Amino acid sequence: MNNSGLGQKIYSLLLVAYRRYLQTPERSLDKAYNAALKIRQIENEYFNGNKIDFDSMIHGNSAMDYFESELKKQLRIIRMRLTEFKASRFLLNEFNQKTARKLGIENLNHAVVLEKLRLIDEVVEKYTIPEEEIPPTNAVDQTPDVTVESLVVPPKQQNFRTNNLDNKLKNQPRGKTNTTGVLPRSIFNTIHRLQAELDPKSEQEVVQNFRKSQQRTIISIRFLLLLIIVPILTHQLSKAFFVGPIIDHLRNPEQTAIFLNEEMEEEAMLELQRFEEKIKFHNLLNHVTTSEQNIEEQMRKKAEEIAEEYRNESANAIKNLAADILSVIAFIWLLLTSKKEIAVLKEFFDYIVYGLSDSAKAFIIILFTDIFVGFHSPHGWEVILEGISHHWGLPANHNFIFLFIATFPVILDTIFKYWIFRYLNRISPSAVATYRNMNE
């Protein structure tokens, strides 16, 4: 009876989840449509039905900041929900549609869908900046608000943008005198920099460069925090409110095994053996005579405590595995929906890394390589792999650990050497020379 009731509950939960899956296209489209309606409502109420203009003097700075954040939020919702709508429509096959009709779920009305998509396109089109459009640089006051889209330079325009002073210097034609010649290359760079600084528009370009750099830093730090916080939060919340209760409900403490592997059982036996030896040692030390029955009673209580402890540890390992899978899914989803932020983050790292001095670059490379691929790194990898095995309740397979240590650090070392030879040696040869001298 208990098994049939539990099976009925699981079937009901799966049925509810399947119904929600079948209703995903309609739900996603409705959320995107509602977000478009909110943008349209702001336009009608505060901008006389026109596009939300951040240069407008109708409202104050605080109000415009609010409208800007609300617009970005709703546009993000539209983009995410439309992606979910397209993916769910692609995955719903004919069998799923037949099942939906049996469950009483009506198919989407094409006229309604087209009407909602038409409204969404009308709203989004106002705030879509074509790739060919370049922001004006005539005056400082005309500098547009920096967005994630404006920070990501399309590949076709990377050699033609001159929005800041550094790009102007980097895009100068480089002849043989810039690579090899009688005079050092830094002298020619200094001359080009002086020419750029004498340009009347250099001040405007410096201001624009600073604004973009500031916005790039904010976006990058915020995205890094999301990459760290979202998986951790997903793991903790899913383990506490979703995965944990389900596993506790499905695992019967009286029927399930106490130990997930033999190593846990050996640890429990060693702990019980040490407890017995501790009792005998104290009895001998204090000249106390304890009967075998009393010792056996204490051992029985200790064995029950150890069994309960390892039973909870086994359940916790299963919870960790399920919660980690959800965390990885959340992390991948965040990466797939943040391609523009990833491009901005890459530019931010390039700016930070290549802006370091040669000695700082060499120091970071040596520190990183010695930790992960140095002669003493196998001990660290062994600790990490054993910790992961214990976290998931898996037995520590030493043959796999030794094989991993014998191959993975070697692959990492090869990648580092190739990167130094292929990229760093071309971009900063002095940093490579400093690295070799410090490494020797």
Q: How many CB atoms lie within 10 A of CB 25?
A: 21
Question: Which range in 226-230, 342-346, 351-355, 357-361 is most confidently predicted, on average pLDDT?
Answer: 226-230
Q: How many CB atoms lie within 10 A of CB 420?
A: 16
Q: Are residues 225 and 174 in the same domain?
A: no
Q: Are residues 156 and 295 in the same domain?
A: yes
Q: Are residues 194 and 253 in the same domain?
A: no
Q: Which of 190-199, 312-321, 351-360, 409-418 is the least confident region?
A: 190-199
Q: Is 50 exceeded by the pLDDT of residue 162? A: no
Q: Are residues 375 and 333 in the same domain?
A: no
- Residues 6 or more apart from 293 whose CB is under 8 A from it? none
Q: Are residues 180 and 151 in the same domain?
A: no
Q: Are residues 314 and 380 in the same domain?
A: no
Q: What was the pLDDT predicted at 325?
A: 92
What's the mean pLDDT when you consider all of the chain? 76
Within a domain: residue 216? Answer: yes
Separation of alpha carbons 324 and 243, rounded Å: 10
Within a domain: residue 136? Answer: no
Within a domain: residue 56? Answer: yes
The boundaries of the domain holding residue 244 are: 145-163+208-338
Which is nearest to 311 in space by CA: 394, 395, 393? Answer: 393
Q: Are residues 7 and 124 in the same domain?
A: yes
pLDDT tens string 241-272: 888 888 887 776 666 677 777 788 888 889 88
In what helix (H) or strand (E) does residue 167 lie, and over which residues does it extend? helix 165-170
